[in-house]
Amino acid sequence: RYSEFENLRKAGIQHADVKGMMYSREDVTARSLANGYSQILGTLFSQEMKPYEVELLLAQVGETPERNELYRISFDG
C-alpha cells in the first residue's frame, strides 16, 4: 500500500524536476502539478482496481496574496 503513495510522491517530484530543467523553475506551478497528479491518479488507480482513497492539497504562494493558489484533488477508487 505504501509503495503506490511513495510512487505518487516521486512522480510529483520528477514532474517538477523535469519541467524546471526543460523550461524554468517559474514554469513549475501548483496548477501544473495538480494536472500531473490528476493524470497519474486517473491512470494508475483506474487501470488497477485498487480500493484507495487519495486526497492531495497543493498550495502555491504568489507574489501577492491575490495570486495565491490552492488545489484539492480527491480520488476514491
* Residue 50 phi, psi dihedral angles, 5° rounding: -120, 130
Q: Using only C-alpha atoms, what is the Rg of the chain? A: 14
**Average pLDDT score over the chain:** 84
Query: What pLDDT, on a 0 to 100 scale, did the predictor assign at position 1?
Result: 57
End-to-end CA distance of the chain: 13
* Highest-scoring range by mean pLDDT, 23-27, 35-39, 61-65: 61-65
Per-residue pLDDT reduced to its tens digit, 21-31: 888 888 889 99
Q: What is the DSSP track for 9-65? A: HHHHHHHHHHHHHHT-GGG--HHHHHHHHHHHHHHHHHHTT---EEEEEEEE--SSG
Question: How far apart (Å, rounded) are the C-alpha atoms in residues 43 and 25?
Answer: 26
